[in-house]
Amino acid sequence: MIARLASHGRRRFSGGDEWRAHLEALGIAGMKNPVKGAAEGALRGTICDGGRIAGTVILSDDAGQFNVGDLHALCWIHAERNVSELNGNTPYQHEQVAPALDRM
Local confidence pLDDT in tens for the 104 residues of the chain: 777 777 877 878 888 788 788 888 888 776 677 667 777 777 777 777 777 777 778 888 777 777 777 787 887 776 667 767 777 788 898 888 877 777 66
Whether 78 maps to a domain, the answer reads: no
If one counts the domains in the chain, the total is: 1
Whether 101 maps to a domain, the answer reads: no
Q: Which pLDDT value is given to residue 79?
A: 67
Outline where the chain has alpha helix (H): 2-6, 16-25, 34-49, 80-83, 91-102
First to last CA, the chain: 40
pLDDT tens sequence across 89-101? 888 988 888 777 7
18: helix, coil or strand?
Answer: helix
Q: Which pLDDT value is given to residue 53?
A: 72
Whether 70 maps to a domain, the answer reads: no
Q: Are 73 and 81 in contact (CB under 8 A)?
A: no
Q: Which pLDDT value is given to residue 59?
A: 81
Whether 10 maps to a domain, the answer reads: yes
Q: Which pLDDT value is given to residue 104?
A: 62
Q: Which pLDDT value is given to residue 48?
A: 76
Whether 64 maps to a domain, the answer reads: no
